[in-house]
Structure 1
C-alpha cells in the first residue's frame, strides 16, 4: 500500500483507513497559510519541509461559527463537535487511495463541500472517501476560506490586486485542483482523469469552476448536487454573481463595522474578531455569499455560461433532494394568484391556472416547485440545444428519511448516500437505505471513471439504465426507498414551467 508519498513540497505519510487496503492522508498543505499579508490574497505556494510529514489528522477547519452549538438539523446531523480545531491557517486537503504503487493512474474525484460559503469543512463525517476509494477512485477533499475571510471584496483590494481582488474561497478550490493535477499521480491517481464535484455551495463552486475558462483541461467531468437554481416566478438574485461595485460596498461597510480604514489595518486584526463582527452583519443581511464578477476568475453568471455553452463543456451529473428550496407564488388568495399568473406568464396565464399544481397552497404560498430541479433541467436543456451537446444526467433523491424529527427529504441528506457513509449517521437506517446508498455510490463511481453512470454494481448486477436528460428524452433517475428507478418527466406542470422559464 502507498503509505509514504512524495509531493512537490516534501514527503507525506498516511495511515491505513478502516479498510486497511486504503490509505488516508489528512491535512496535506496545498498552499501557504492565508494569514498576515496573505489574508485576502490569491493562494500562495506552500513551503517545503524536510523529512516525512505525518498526515494523520484533519487540519483545522476554516474560521466560521463554532459547530455543534445550535439545535438545528445540521448541528444534529453532522456539525456535532464544538471543540473541533479551527484556524485561519486552513488550506489543506485530504486524500484516500487504494493504490499499491504510483503508476496505477486511477480516476480522481476532487470534492468541494457546501455550507453557503459560511460553514462547512472536509472533516464532516459524511465526506469520508473510503467507500469510493474501495471502488478504485482516488478521493481528494479540499478545504477553502469562508465568510468574510474567503469572500470579502473592497475597493482597496480592487486597486492593489486587480487580477485577484475577491473570490478567495473559489481561488483556494482552484489552487487545490491544480495541486491535484501536479501531485496526484504519486498517489496512484490519473491527473488527466479528474472529476470535480460539490453540493449546495460546493455545487455552486463547481458551476463557478466550470465557468472559469482558465480551468480548461483541469477536469474531465463535473457533479453538481443541489447547486443549480431557477425560478419560474420572481427573478431571484440571491444566487447570481454580484458586481465588483455591489460587493465592494459590502466590504466598505464591514471595514466601518470593524473600525478600520485601510487594508493593512484589516490584515492586522485578529481573525476571530473579524469573524465575530462579520457574523453580526451577516445576521442582519450583509452576507458575503455569492461569487463576484471580477473579470478574471468570474466573468459571467455560471448558470448563463452553462446554458449558452461558454463554460468548460464536460459531461455533468446533477440533481436535487425532494424537499429543498421550494419556490412559490406569494399571493393572499385566488384572485391575487390570477393576477400574479398574468404577470409571470402573460398570454399563457390561463393555461398555467388549468394545472391543479398551480392551485396547491402551502405555508409559503401557491404553486410550489423545486428551484434546483428547474434550474438543473433548464441548464441541461440549454446544453442540449448546442452543437455536439455533452451528456447531462439528472437525478432526484426522494427516499424516505427515518428519525423521530420526521425531517423529510431535506437539503444535503443525499450526501450520506452518495458517499455511502450511512453507518456514521445516528438515524435508524434500514437495509433498503443501505442498498440504495450502494447503488448511488456505484452510479457516482461509474460517472467519475468514465463520464457515464451506467454499468454494474459491486455485486456485478447491472444497474437500471440512466439516460441523459435531453429535450426529446426527459429521462430522470429517481432514488427512492425501493432503490434506483429510471423514469421520464411525468409532470406536465414542470414541462410547462420549463417551456416558459426566462
Structure 2
C-alpha cells in the first residue's frame, strides 16, 4: 500500500510477485458534464483505501468488433466487452520497489491508435517485464477522438489558455501526477522517460515540442510516430490544423448533432455523442492552438524548438511506405516541377522515367515516409549545436514474424518485443524471437535508466554497441534475427528528398 496526494492506494502482486501493480488510479477529475471539453481538472481526495486491482474503463471510442480479417483485432483488440466510460482519466503503475527511497527510473507510456481508439489495458502493454529491470512503469489513459480533440469557438472563449488538445493535456496531467507522486512507488521524479508508439509516439513528439513542458521529463522514446509530408495528395496525420480551422469544424459538428450551444452539447449522452461522431466520419487530432501546441510538432522538432534530451526513435521495416499520387507520367512530371523546380529533372532521372513505364517510375519514387522524417531530424540535430545533449538512437525492426497470415513487420508488431510480452501473443514465436525481445527490452530499459541504451545482456555478455545516429556516424540498430548495428542507407531518391527539404527551408522568402 502507498500514500499519494489524494489518499491511500492498495496494489496487487503481479505474475512475478516481486513486482507490484496498481491499476486504475485516478489522476484528474472525471471529464464529464461541465468538464467535457475542458483541460483536466483537479480531483478530490478519497476516503479509505483505494483498491487499484483492475484497469479502469477505457475512453469513449468505436466499440471493438472481433474480425479475424482485421490484423489488429486478431492481434490484441481481442475483448469486445471492455468497460467503456467518459470517466476515463486513470493510470496504472508497475513497480519493483520495496521502499519509497529507491529513486528508480520511471517510464511513462502513451498508447497509440490514431488518437481515435486504444487503451492501456491492451495486453502488449503489460509493464511487468520492463519493471523487472528496475524501472517503474506507468501507462496513462487519455481522451480520444471528438471527446479529446474537438474544438469550438465557445470552448476557446471559455478557456483561452486551454482551448484544444484535451487528450494531450490528459497525457500532460498524468505525467505531472507522476512527477508529484511517483516517489511513493519508489520512483525518481527527476528521471522520467516518456514513450509512445504510433499516435502515442506522435504524442511524445507533441509533448517534447510543447513550450509548457520544461523539465517535466528527461528522455523520450518515439516508436513509429514521426512523419512529415512528402508528396502531394498523400495522407499524413493531420497535425497542422489551426485552431480557427478546428473551431469551424466543431461548429459544423454541433450543427450535425442538432445542438446550438456548448451547454447543450455537454448535456448529450456520452454513448450518443460517440455514435454520432462515428457517423460523422471525421478525424479528430492535434491542433496548433498557440498554447499547448505552438506549431507543427515535427517542424519544431527539426528546428530544435524542443526539450534538448536524448531520444530513442525508429520504425518497422514495412510501415509507412509512400509514393507519388500520379495517374499518368505527365502528372508525375508536373508534380516534380511543382515540388522541385529546377531540380525536377534530377528527381525524374532518379525515378527512371525515361523508359516510359509509370508503375516502374512510381516504384522508384517509393520511400518510407517515416524514415524520411527521422533522417531529417537526425541531420537537423547534428547541425543544431546540441547533438551531445540530445543524442538520437535510431532503430529499424526487421524480424521475421511467424503466423498463418504471413504479416511481415506490420505497424505495431514491435510492441510485443519492446515490452517483452510475446508470451501473451497467439503467434508461434520461437527461441530466436524471445532472445530478440529480451535484447530489445534491455536496450529500452537501459535507455530509460540512463539515456544510453547500451549495456550487458542478462547473460552477462555485452550487447552490440548502439551509437547515436548523426551525419558523422550514420548508424542504426537493426533488430532482425538479432540486434546488429548497421549503416543507414537511405537510397538515392530519399537522399534527394532530404536535400530538397533543407534547400527549401533555407530558400529566401519571396
TM-score normalised by structure 1 residue count = 0.95
For 1:110, the equivalent position in structure 2 comes to: 108
For 2:59, the equivalent position in structure 1 comes to: 62
CA gap of 1:232–1:146, structure 2 versus 1, over 3 A, is: closer
SS of the equivalent of 2:427 reads coil
For 2:283, the equivalent position in structure 1 comes to: 287
SS of the equivalent of 1:140 reads strand
SS of the equivalent of 2:212 reads helix
Given the alignment of the two structures, is residue 385 of structure 1 paired with residue 383 of structure 2, yes or no? yes
SS of the equivalent of 1:265 reads helix
| Distance (Å, rounded) in 2 between the aligned partners of 1:412 and 1:344 | 32
| Distance (Å, rounded) in 1 between the aligned partners of 2:182 and 2:490 | 44
Moved more, 182-191 or 490-499: 490-499
Structure 1 unmatched ranges of 5 or more: none
For 1:397, the equivalent position in structure 2 comes to: 397
SS of the equivalent of 1:377 reads helix
| Distance (Å, rounded) in 2 between the aligned partners of 1:67 and 1:363 | 40
For 2:39, the equivalent position in structure 1 comes to: 42
SS of the equivalent of 1:80 reads coil
For 2:459, the equivalent position in structure 1 comes to: 459
SS of the equivalent of 1:255 reads helix
| Distance (Å, rounded) in 1 between the aligned partners of 2:464 and 2:20 | 32
SS of the equivalent of 1:148 reads helix
Aligned-residue CA RMSD in angstroms? 1.9
Q: Is the 8 A contact 1:330 1:365 kept in 2?
A: no
Q: Aligned match of 1:72 in 70, 73, 78?
A: 70
For 2:497, the equivalent position in structure 1 comes to: 497
Q: Is the 8 A contact 2:308 2:386 kept in 1?
A: no
SS of the equivalent of 2:8 reads strand
Q: CA deviation at 1:364?
A: 8.2
| Distance (Å, rounded) in 1 between the aligned partners of 2:358 and 2:436 | 31
| Distance (Å, rounded) in 1 between the aligned partners of 2:478 and 2:328 | 34
For 2:294, the equivalent position in structure 1 comes to: 299
For 2:141, the equivalent position in structure 1 comes to: 143
| Distance (Å, rounded) in 2 between the aligned partners of 1:342 and 1:210 | 35
SS of the equivalent of 1:119 reads coil
CA gap of 1:357–1:221, structure 2 versus 1, over 3 A, is: farther
CA gap of 1:120–1:159, structure 2 versus 1, over 3 A, is: same
Given the alignment of the two structures, is residue 371 of structure 1 paired with residue 369 of structure 2, yes or no? yes
For 1:22, the equivalent position in structure 2 comes to: 19
Q: Is the 8 A contact 2:26 2:89 kept in 1?
A: yes
For 2:342, the equivalent position in structure 1 comes to: 347
CA gap of 1:218–1:93, structure 2 versus 1, over 3 A, is: same
Q: CA deviation at 1:460?
A: 1.5
The CA deviation string for residues 29-87 of structure 1, in whole angstroms up to 9 with x for no partner, is 00111111111111111211122111000000001111243441111111111111110
Q: Is the 8 A contact 1:357 1:367 kept in 2?
A: no
Q: CA deviation at 1:499?
A: 1.8
Given the alignment of the two structures, is residue 10 of structure 1 paired with residue 7 of structure 2, yes or no? yes
Alignment of 1:202-213 (within 5 A): 202-213=200-211
TM-score normalised by structure 2 residue count = 0.93
| Distance (Å, rounded) in 1 between the aligned partners of 2:21 and 2:236 | 40
| Distance (Å, rounded) in 2 between the aligned partners of 1:436 and 1:399 | 9
Q: Is the 8 A contact 2:209 2:305 kept in 1?
A: yes
Q: Is the 8 A contact 2:399 2:479 kept in 1?
A: yes
Given the alignment of the two structures, is residue 479 of structure 1 paired with residue 475 of structure 2, yes or no? no
Alignment of 1:134-213 (within 5 A): 134-213=132-211
| Distance (Å, rounded) in 1 between the aligned partners of 2:44 and 2:470 | 48
Q: CA deviation at 1:476?
A: 0.9
For 2:251, the equivalent position in structure 1 comes to: 252
| Distance (Å, rounded) in 2 between the aligned partners of 1:133 and 1:184 | 14
The size of the alignment, in residue pairs, is 494
CA gap of 1:364–1:68, structure 2 versus 1, over 3 A, is: farther
| Distance (Å, rounded) in 1 between the aligned partners of 2:213 and 2:339 | 37
| Distance (Å, rounded) in 2 between the aligned partners of 1:334 and 1:165 | 45
Given the alignment of the two structures, is residue 129 of structure 1 paired with residue 117 of structure 2, yes or no? no
| Distance (Å, rounded) in 1 between the aligned partners of 2:338 and 2:139 | 45
Moved more, 232-241 or 487-496: 232-241
SS of the equivalent of 1:207 reads helix
Q: Is the 8 A contact 2:228 2:236 kept in 1?
A: no
CA gap of 1:363–1:199, structure 2 versus 1, over 3 A, is: farther
Q: CA deviation at 1:339?
A: 4.2
Q: CA deviation at 1:497?
A: 2.6
Moved more, 470-479 or 65-74: 65-74
